[in-house]
Structure 1
Amino acid sequence: MICNVFTQSIKRKYLVLAFVLVCGLTIMVSYYKPISHRYMFLPDTQVANLNFYDQNVISGFVFGKGTPMAVSCPLLLSGNKQEMLVAQSFKRTTRIPSFYYSYLAKNCSLFKSRRNYITSSLTLEEEQFPIAYSMVVYKDVEQVERLLRSIYRPQNIYCVHLDNKSEPEFRETLTEITNCFQNVFVSKESLDVRWGTMSVLEADLICMHELWKYKSWKYFINLTGQEFPLKTNAEIVGILKNLNGKNNIRKSVLNRWATRWEKAGKAPAGIIPVKGDLQIAVNREFVDYVLHNKTAKKFLKWCSKTKVPDETFFVSLHYNKHLKIGGSYTDDQGNSTDPPYITRFKTWEGTAKPCHGKYVRRVCVYGVGDLPLLINRKELFVNKLHLDFEPLALDCLEETLYNVTRNEYFQTLEGNGPPKHT
């Protein structure tokens, strides 16, 4: 008899447990849209970590809700040495996985809300000055998505080139994210981008072609997945407007690059090759020339025979004044009123600029020790940051960006207008 009572007790416990599980699953299914089985049975600890990161850490960046981190970003930005030591030893154990982005992106309103996208133009000046962006990316969904979020405004246009060699999960997840926005799209063509080859240049050209059909944008800026803005959208707009239609492209002052072009023969149309940066901020007329002018097409073909053509094509078109491209360099006598290069901040190994992070392929990957420098730079974007190296550097830049955006917005609401740019 004791055995029967014991058996019945166990059965009742299992029945209650089964009832609770059925009810729980029923609530989940009724609340969420149908989702893949891989999202249905996340471990409780993983869900808790994701919810904390998504709702607390990230929301903390938006409009100054606080800094729910192990360090103080204001102290890091001020160069506090003790806080630097804490930040440099910090190791992030939880990253936002691809499947969580995919899960959120199944409900675009939920995705934009939970990821705190700014879905307003915020100011009339920003609304009337749309910017076109190309984003050439190949890895790290979280870092790429946070870059997109940091520059996103509904009036801008974004072309994302997904590297052909990227992992399928990376490609699928970013495609799902871009599908949540009418003004963000993945390029139709995808290349295997390799440094030093035409593919680096061609990836941007692919996006230029696809962005050209959008008639509203004023300037084009090209980005990669390891970059991040140092200025808010309102600041970028103000700075670009102050260019007065001029393009912003940098050339190298060193005269040691002729060996890159020696096997290509003489450049067409009297063009004198120049070495410079791939990163540009250019007006529509420059993009029109690149895409449709016969001389530009001939020069592109010539560049395909050179070494590292992406560091020759744009900059040479810009600095050959006889081409008469609107907004390009006009005076080689040293009297030019062209503005200084503000498109990108980058530190090369062997230069006088400090790097408190680490060098990868001779380019500085900035760390928390570089924050006091970065926060005071005049450039629009920084290259580069790695989320798996001293991640609080990116976190604090992101927090600062959103807090400055908040201040700009409230300043506009109070009738003081957006900040002035010099």
Structure 2
Amino acid sequence: MLVCTMVIFSMAPRMTMSFWSSTKNNILWRRKETEHLDCGRVLRNDKKYIENFTGDNRISIVTNLKYLDMSCDAIQNRIIPFNFHLRPLKVGVVFARVVYKDYEFLEKQVQMSYHPQNIFCFFIDSKSDSDFKWRMRRLGRCLPNIHVMDEELPIDSAGHNMNMAHYKCMEKMVKIPNWGYFVLMQNHDVIGKTVYEISRIFEILDGANDIDIDKEFGRIEERFEWDLKTLRLFRDESIYTSSFLNSSLRISKGSVQGSLSREAVEWMVKTVNPRKYGVDEQWISTFQANEFLEMPGHFTDKCLKETGNKTDFITRWSKWSWSDEMGEKCGSKYVRHGVCIMGIEELPVIARMPNIMFNKVLIPYEKWFS
């Protein structure tokens, strides 16, 4: 239900006054703009009904934040379900998200995946406006399992400092007990599964990482040396042979998003020193694809090495549309950086997908396409 509401109002072309609506008998918060929607009809792909909320009829959302109560009581009441017992999770999860805008969207994402055993780590782009930073830091002070990193770095769409932002969260999270998986996220990723479904997925993975790996196409700097010794990849080189340290990494490409076991995160923080290596889409995929590194939770690189076949993942789903500049292949008819912008038209498909999250949802779309 919440995923339905999020996507429907995410692409609103008009701006109208809105407030949160709630009742003490409800475990979910819905906005007044969307409380009339029948998400069941949307998810059943009732095309005639869906057409009522497409094109110029998309439901409006206003980001008039001066009306949003930012007291800790208000924030806690919006996020934590009322009168609702949350049974324990078998696997607690860290959601590590690099952010720069759309506070209400991000708060809603915390609500959608909130559980006392889950942890939320946010790293803020230093270029974000001061009001956004203030609200994120208020959020971090109001719940003990929400951490907003003090440090900020400039982050851009080319991936500069994206790895470092996630790594800063890793360094902090390894000091916190009782979680099993670490999910790397970006600003506009939307969680599509319940906390119990996510916990069950990671219980089944049982320590295996879920990382997208593919061949790297043309972004490798040939003038640099990519052997482990030159990269100084391992913190303590004395325990490795010279033959091992002279081995070169085979650079792989994948998504920024991915899910790492706790053991893999501890390995990245305590055993290797990945601070200087790779752009955002080469980072975790290359560690995963080089089997000889013995990263905890890795799997065989035989498919990539022998056949060049891509290994897909379930952490995130995107609808790619590189050759479709006008977005005709996208249900919403909008595309950005080769990825369809998700609208209500995509929800029946999303509901059937096994992925934990999907991308992209932008609020509102005219900011990107005007």
TM-score over 0.5 (shorter chain): yes
Distance 1:379-1:286 versus aligned 2 partners, 3 A rule: same
Aligned equivalent of 2:67: 100
**Is residue 2:75 matched to residue 1:111?**
yes
Q: Is the 8 A contact 1:228 1:383 kept in 2?
A: yes
Distance 1:389-1:196 versus aligned 2 partners, 3 A rule: closer
Which amino acid is 1:292 matched to? K
Q: Distance in 2 between matches of 1:93 and 1:369?
A: 16
Q: Is the 8 A contact 1:246 1:328 kept in 2?
A: yes
**Helix, strand or coil at the partner of 1:379:** coil
Q: Distance in 2 between matches of 1:199 and 1:249?
A: 20
What is the TM-score with the length of structure 1 in the denominator? 0.69
Which amino acid is 2:57 matched to? F
Distance 1:350-1:81 versus aligned 2 partners, 3 A rule: same
Structure 2 residue corresponding to 1:360, chosen from 326, 336, 339: 336
Aligned equivalent of 2:47: 81
Structure 2 residue corresponding to 1:238, chosen from 176, 191, 200: 200
**Helix, strand or coil at the partner of 1:196:** coil
Structure 2 residue corresponding to 1:376, chosen from 352, 358, 362: 352
**Is residue 2:289 matched to residue 1:344?**
no
Q: Distance in 1 between matches of 2:26 and 2:322?
A: 37
Deviations, residues 331-363 of structure 1 (Å, cap 9, x unaligned): 51589xxx9611000122148995212111111
**Helix, strand or coil at the partner of 1:135:** strand
1:62-73 aligned at under 5 Å gives the runs 62=28, 69-73=35-39
Residue 56 of structure 1 deviates from its aligned partner by 4.8
Residue 139 of structure 1 deviates from its aligned partner by 0.6
Residue 60 of structure 1 deviates from its aligned partner by 6.9
**Helix, strand or coil at the partner of 1:263:** coil
Q: Distance in 2 between matches of 1:60 and 1:95?
A: 23
Q: Distance in 2 between matches of 1:323 and 1:256?
A: 18
Which amino acid is 1:118 matched to? P
Q: Distance in 2 between matches of 1:331 and 1:278?
A: 19
Which amino acid is 2:259 matched to? A
Deviations, residues 292-339 of structure 1 (Å, cap 9, x unaligned): 22xx32x54243xxxxx111121111111111122111351589xxx9
Residue 96 of structure 1 deviates from its aligned partner by 4.5
Which amino acid is 1:286 matched to? A
**Is residue 2:296 matched to residue 1:332?**
no
Structure 2 residue corresponding to 1:55, chosen from 17, 21, 31: 21
Aligned equivalent of 1:284: 262
Structure 1 residue corresponding to 2:250, chosen from 243, 266, 272: 272
1:146-157 aligned at under 5 Å gives the runs 146-157=108-119
Deviations, residues 130-182 of structure 1 (Å, cap 9, x unaligned): 11121111011111111111111111111111110101011111211221101
Q: Distance in 2 between matches of 1:111 and 1:300?
A: 35
Residue 68 of structure 1 deviates from its aligned partner by 5.7
Q: Distance in 1 between matches of 2:364 and 2:316?
A: 22
Q: Is the 8 A contact 1:221 1:280 kept in 2?
A: yes
Q: Is the 8 A contact 1:143 1:225 kept in 2?
A: no
Q: Is the 8 A contact 1:135 1:223 kept in 2?
A: yes
Figure out how many residues of one structure are paired with residues of the other and give that number.
323
Deviations, residues 85-125 of structure 1 (Å, cap 9, x unaligned): 21113344452432333xx332x233322x2523877123x
Distance 1:204-1:105 versus aligned 2 partners, 3 A rule: same
Distance 1:340-1:275 versus aligned 2 partners, 3 A rule: closer
Q: Is the 8 A contact 2:79 2:108 kept in 1?
A: no
Let me know the Cα RMSD of the aligned residues: 3.2
Q: Is the 8 A contact 2:191 2:356 kept in 1?
A: yes
1:4-403 aligned at under 5 Å gives the runs 50=18, 53-56=19-22, 62=28, 69-88=35-54, 89-101=56-68, 104-106=69-71, 108-113=72-77, 115-118=78-81, 122-124=86-88, 126=89, 128-252=90-214, 255=215, 257-268=217-228, 269=245, 270=247, 271-293=249-271, 296-297=272-273, 300-303=275-278, 309-330=279-300, 332=302, 341-350=313-322, 355-357=330-332, 358-389=334-365
Which amino acid is 1:291 matched to? V
Q: Distance in 2 between matches of 1:241 and 1:139?
A: 32
Q: Is the 8 A contact 1:344 1:382 kept in 2?
A: yes
Any gaps of 5 or more consecutive residues in structure 2?
1-15, 229-244
Q: Is the 8 A contact 1:72 1:83 kept in 2?
A: no
Q: Is the 8 A contact 2:118 2:179 kept in 1?
A: yes
Q: Is the 8 A contact 1:274 1:316 kept in 2?
A: yes
Q: Distance in 2 between matches of 1:139 and 1:328?
A: 33
Seq. identity, %: 23
Distance 1:201-1:346 versus aligned 2 partners, 3 A rule: same
Which amino acid is 1:117 matched to? I
**Helix, strand or coil at the partner of 1:159:** strand
Any gaps of 5 or more consecutive residues in structure 1?
1-47, 304-308, 391-422
Distance 1:174-1:99 versus aligned 2 partners, 3 A rule: farther
Q: Is the 8 A contact 1:130 1:217 kept in 2?
A: yes
Q: Is the 8 A contact 1:221 1:282 kept in 2?
A: yes
Residue 256 of structure 1 deviates from its aligned partner by 5.5
